[in-house]
Structure 1
Amino acid sequence: MTLHPILIAVTARITERSRPTRQAYLQQVDAAAQRDPGAQRLGCANVAHAFAAMPEGDKGRATALDKIKVVAPRAPNIGIVNAYNDLLSAHAPLQHYPDLIKDEARKLGATAQVAGGVPAMCDGVTQGTPGMELSLFSRDVIAMATAVSLSHDVFDAALMLGVCDKIVPGLLIGALQFGHLPTVFVPAGPMTSGLSNNEKSKVREQAALGLVGRPELLEAESKAYHGEGTCTFYGTANSNQMLLEAMGLHVPGTAFINPGESVRQDLTREAARTVLALVKDKNFTPIGRLVDERCIVNAMVALLATGGSTNHLIHWVAVARAAGIVIDWDDFSALSDVVPLLTRVYPNGSADVNQFQAAGGPGYVIRELLDAGLMHADVLTVRPGGLREFTRIPSAQNGQLVWHDSDASQDDTVVRPATSPFSATGGLKLLQGNLGRSVIKISAVPEAFHVIEAPARVFNSQDELQAAFKAGELDRDIVCVVRWQGPQANGMPELHKLTPPLAVLQGKGFKVALVTDGRMSGASGKVPAAIHVSPEAAAGGPLAKVQDGDLIRLDGVAGTLQVLVSEAEWAARPLAQMPAELRAANGVGMGRELFANLRRNALKAEEGACTWL
């Protein structure tokens, strides 16, 4: 299949833009890969410390020395980085994965060690609380913790165990610092379907109106989030899994198999077999070589074709930079103009990820994109068959894993072919104008609300907006501007708690939009939201000029975000300063003091909000 010319052009400009940084990165990868293995290179005391706690049989294989001091063939050693905790429903199943991996490694004459654990927070728990201000930067903390884990430098390969929002990007950024290691990512899958996402949203809106109380709301939420696995909407966590499939970093088809299915354990063991196969000289494929410009573009295309989380317009910019690759929102925008929307999964539709999987899942989408010339097929992956292997669906037959080709869509209200998409363009849109650069998840917004023009009401926090809503002050056409929410201001929290009140206003027939330098969850939809406005207000961005009553136009069709005042007045208007009481409160309590240096050093959203460059 001939590649689409825009795909070729975007990949070429990314490659050219990234040439100096990518070359420098690959030089580091190659230099590290050419060293002797750690157990042979390190001093004897270092090696003894590294393997002191290993069972004797494993210790002999890892050190290449058996009990009678006869040198034996040295076995490959897998480093496991685990994001397990049992607060995150998606990560609770990871508790026993290391045991499965170690057992499988032994069967193959290899060894495995838990190199380290990384923190993993649940955004669903911290939404609307001070803890959410740690969320974005937890990604870089996870990356650093991954680096600390692998810095023991006695590993021949790595397995990354993690699923959710900031955890997978953090693990990937950290793994790319050890780009000489073959690496496979190991997920746990989504929870089974409970209360539908649409029904959950209705109860939330009723609660915002005061029509139901806390008992009814808690009952609905508990029916929606009821067991082990990721939340079933297509938010950031599940978008992570789609992107990893498109990058060829999973065992094919692993993303959306439920934790309780027997094939899930088989796939976890297969991850150990897969990474060990990559260690062999004839198939040596380190992650730093695998994640190249084409691989990153494939991930971007998969995000757009599925209407994935807006958070990845930040996270995957950071991931790319970790591999020496420079991408920006113009690249996403150019691809979005030609990549068709192939799925309708909540919040872009009513289906959940289990229905998406049943209808064809990632394998179907990847096949359609490859056949349409909208993905690079000639990329390295963790499997010898390349990206085509990721169009197949796994199952267990007679105790063995087998894969079969994805068929036609099993439900064309959820997944459609590239020849008959839900939309000819992707799910995300770049907005530009005198308010800066921003993005909108246009695929989640009904067409009637793609263009909103209304007077502004300026808020300095999400709490101020909630209070105004409860006081009945917002019952009119309105563009709610929530500023001082960017990376440097307070860590760029998600403002997902604003969706129910704004949806209520929209439901009353008012024209409503949100404009903010903060983030919205991958679960957000329905109400048009221009998010990640850059530069942020705290860095002197134009949101700091907006005043109550200014007419703002958000045009998701033309891709513009404008305040409709004269150029002369706009240029002369001074920048507001963050209120003193807000500045004093920011970064205080709930551990936020420890993140002060990250806030000071954060790049803007379009640069991945990176704190390490």
Structure 2
Amino acid sequence: MTKLHPKIEEVTARIESRSQDSRAAYLEMIRARRPNAYARTRLHEGNIAHASAGCAVIEKAQILGASWPVIGIITAYNDMLSAHAPFETYPQLIREAAREVNAVAQVAGGVPAMCDGVTQGQEGMELSLFSRDVIAMASAIGLSHDAFDAVLHLGVCDKIVPGLVIAALRFGWLPSIFVPAGPMPSGLPNPEKVRIRQLFAEGKVGREALLKAESESYHSQGTCTFYGTANSNQMIMEVMGLHLPGAAFTNPGTPLRAALTKAAAHRAAAITAQGQDYRPAGELIDARSIVNAIVGLMATGGSTNHALHIPAMAAAAGFDVTMEDFADLSHVTPLLARIYPNGPSDVNHFHAAGGMGFLVGELLKAGLMQGDASAVMGSIASYCHEPFLKDGAVEWRRAPETSGDAEILRPCDDPFSADGGLRLMEGPLGRGVCKVSAVKAQNRIVEAPAIVFETQEALKEAFEAGRLDRDFVAVVRFQGPAANGMPELHSLSPVLGVLQDRGHKVALVTDGRMSGASGKIPAAIHVAPEAARGGPIARVQDGDIIRLDGEAGRLELKVDPSEFAARTPAEFRPNRPSMGLGREMFDLFRQFASTADCGASPFRFLG
């Protein structure tokens, strides 16, 4: 067995040490609820009657007789969003599969699933991040009936999976398996999509050409094929052991996808407290699981949104994860994958080149992934296997040990980069993160005058007016969780990309997010303290010289410190986020949100 890398050991140990009290309190809570019989036996007769009234006869008989386990289904199905549309047929498939192994499956509840692709650059994006916490609470309501022995979570995209994980961990005495839908087949190549977007930003093609390109990219059921937050979610669920091995990137509507869904139902029935292989989610997920998730993120160049989500998910299980943990793990984890926006290929190409099985196998061999971490099926050591169909059922075989395409997926001894490309950014302007894996080396350091904006619309208007044809650092502030819910600013990517392509040195500094599609522009994001809470970026003025050094992880301000400290911070005017489109309903979330480095969540579970 390969010896674990000392830095992986060190980070795991310090997470365990700093979280000792909160983790102990968490484990005490979930162990006190360990069932000694099927969950519904705790219910009174009237409760059980209500829980079974809508069931088919066979399920009703088993629920009333308390002789089969009951699997709850939490679903993010809606038919507007491509990633979640496939879930329409999953409950019936799961019910049938459960019967095959003497179990009952019921939909316990549905959760909202909003799409950042639909709301990108729109007012609705201001609800996006907090939808994660709404999903966690909605899941809790579904599971609060306390009538389930295991749970299947149906979700894929940006905030949905982290929200479901938070709920799964708060009901951590229950075994939980995450059941994905898979990515849509490949459409328009990503470099061509980017080219059309930039031409549109420059006014060189019209809306008809842009709509054609976008529709050819996002064209059928399934996850978007670029490696943003949705597909990073699926990778993380796999390396945390919450998927069946190899479940992440099988396309919807295929026989293998259906077989994996059935297998998840069978497995859920096998790991309840009444069986011989009890695997409660709250004990399955430990510090090793969390470190594996961060390592997987770094090895694949995954979404910067997980610098928010992983700390929030970890906190739900009593663990305190810091940005230093991310930075230290990034430093020792080689970049093994080039998936758009880090390269031209998409997740289908990644999957075909060897996918998750190859990736996990390489990280295990290099001592970078902890194979002894528990999983819903065995341990992570077995997740270097991939699924295949045999006589209509799913089985597993060893994944290829050689990449099918070295331009997409590489071994640890020949990586694309020696590190994972996520930098902890620190300096007089605060702390944030910068994803440099998609940024060319010559563009990773920018020193230029600041141009300050308080909305993303203002930056785009300045570009359209021709005022940005120069070197500059865009400071887009009042975009943090307390200000307007921390919307993604991904719609700025084409604009800044055009200016960089014209030969200008440009960078972005913001207390907002840039999303899983953070691309070729150096960007210090999630900067905290945020401007709305008096953070230093509230005192930045046009013309201040800022140095963003993505190599060294420094965010410097070339202004006399005493002069800067004497400035009056810009005033936050919360008129926009407090009015219309439901944003006023989220005022409490904005008031109580933690800082970005703690997950930007209105609730914490430490202590």
TM-score above 0.5: yes
Secondary structure at the aligned position of 2:276 is classed as helix
> Contact 1:76–1:110 at 8 Å: present in 2 too?
yes
Deviation at 1:577, TM superposition (A): 1.1
Alignment of 1:456-605 (within 5 A): 456-578=450-572, 580=573, 583-605=574-596
Deviation at 1:35, TM superposition (A): 5.0
Secondary structure at the aligned position of 2:82 is classed as coil
Counterpart-to-counterpart distance in 1, 2:255 and 2:237: 22
> Contact 2:304–2:518 at 8 Å: present in 1 too?
no
Secondary structure at the aligned position of 2:448 is classed as strand
Query: Percent identity among equivalent residues?
Result: 56
Counterpart-to-counterpart distance in 1, 2:139 and 2:576: 31
Counterpart-to-counterpart distance in 1, 2:599 and 2:575: 26
> Contact 1:532–1:605 at 8 Å: present in 2 too?
yes
Deviation at 1:281, TM superposition (A): 3.5
The match for 2:94 is: 101
Secondary structure at the aligned position of 1:318 is classed as helix
Counterpart-to-counterpart distance in 2, 1:395 and 1:303: 25
Counterpart-to-counterpart distance in 2, 1:352 and 1:38: 43
Alignment of 1:230-269 (within 5 A): 230-269=223-262
> Contact 1:457–1:481 at 8 Å: present in 2 too?
yes
Picking from 181, 189, 196, the partner of 1:188 is: 181
> Contact 1:232–1:353 at 8 Å: present in 2 too?
yes
Counterpart-to-counterpart distance in 1, 2:110 and 2:158: 16
Deviation at 1:521, TM superposition (A): 1.5
The match for 1:6 is: 7
Counterpart-to-counterpart distance in 2, 1:97 and 1:4: 40
CA change 1:57–1:260 in 2 (3 A) is closer
- Matched AA of 1:372: A
The match for 1:305 is: 299
Does 1:213 pair with 2:206?
Answer: yes
- Matched AA of 2:392: G
The Cα offsets for residues 199-230 of structure 1, whole Å up to 9 and x where unpaired, read as 10100000000000010100000000000000
Counterpart-to-counterpart distance in 2, 1:398 and 1:46: 42
Counterpart-to-counterpart distance in 1, 2:564 and 2:354: 50
The Cα offsets for residues 248-291 of structure 1, whole Å up to 9 and x where unpaired, read as 11111010000022110000000001111111442101000011
The match for 2:143 is: 150
Counterpart-to-counterpart distance in 2, 1:98 and 1:602: 34
> Contact 1:336–1:426 at 8 Å: present in 2 too?
yes
Picking from 160, 176, 179, the partner of 2:172 is: 179
Which structure 2 residue ranges, 5 or more long, are not aligned?
Answer: none
Aligned length: 601
Deviation at 1:569, TM superposition (A): 1.7
- Matched AA of 1:601: F
Deviation at 1:197, TM superposition (A): 1.1
The match for 2:26 is: 25
Counterpart-to-counterpart distance in 1, 2:421 and 2:231: 15
The Cα offsets for residues 574-597 of structure 1, whole Å up to 9 and x where unpaired, read as 21212x4xx222221111011111
**CA root-mean-square deviation:** 0.9
Counterpart-to-counterpart distance in 2, 1:268 and 1:38: 24
Counterpart-to-counterpart distance in 2, 1:530 and 1:30: 41
> Contact 1:308–1:427 at 8 Å: present in 2 too?
no
> Contact 2:126–2:577 at 8 Å: present in 1 too?
no
The match for 1:46 is: 47
Secondary structure at the aligned position of 1:393 is classed as strand
Counterpart-to-counterpart distance in 1, 2:142 and 2:343: 40
TM-score by length of 1: 0.97
Counterpart-to-counterpart distance in 2, 1:430 and 1:143: 28
Counterpart-to-counterpart distance in 1, 2:506 and 2:427: 19
> Contact 2:70–2:149 at 8 Å: present in 1 too?
yes
The match for 2:58 is: 57
Alignment of 1:400-419 (within 5 A): 400-407=393-400, 408-419=402-413
Does 1:436 pair with 2:430?
Answer: yes
- Matched AA of 2:592: N
Picking from 388, 392, 411, the partner of 2:381 is: 388
Secondary structure at the aligned position of 1:87 is classed as coil
Which structure 1 residue ranges, 5 or more long, are not aligned?
Answer: 65-72
Counterpart-to-counterpart distance in 1, 2:160 and 2:449: 38
Deviation at 1:610, TM superposition (A): 1.1
Secondary structure at the aligned position of 1:585 is classed as coil
Range with bigger deviation, 280-289 or 139-148: 280-289
> Contact 1:87–1:122 at 8 Å: present in 2 too?
no
Deviation at 1:368, TM superposition (A): 0.6
